[in-house]
Amino acid sequence: MHSLWSLLFKRQPQRHFARLDAQGLCQAFKCCEQLPAGSGWVEVSESRLQWLNRPLPGNARVVQRPRGNRLQRMLAA
C-alpha cells in the first residue's frame, strides 16, 4: 500500500543545508525540501559531521541554477 501512495503523491527530494556563522564556519545542518528560514543557510551536496566548526570545502556548495523559462531569461539579459 505504501508503494501505491508513493506513486500517486510524489514528494520533492530532501535537500541538505548548512548554516554558516559570520566567519564562514559551519554551525549546523538541516535536511528539508526548501531553504530554511533565517540567515546563514546555504545548500550543500551532503551533510558531513567533519565540516562542523570548520569552513566548508569548495566543492560542498550546490550551485543554484536559474529557474524559469529559458526564453524569459534570454530576453531579460
Q: Which of 42, 13, 12 is nearest to 30 (CA)?
A: 42
Domain contains 5 = no
The pLDDT tens digits along the chain (77 residues) read 567 777 777 777 789 999 999 999 999 999 998 999 999 999 999 999 999 999 999 899 998 765 666 666 666 66
Domain that holds residue 55: 12-63
Domain contains 77 = no
Residue 1: per-residue pLDDT: 57
* Number of domains making up the chain: 1
Residue 13: per-residue pLDDT: 79
Domain contains 75 = no
This prediction has a pTM of 0.69
Say which amino acid occupies 33.
E
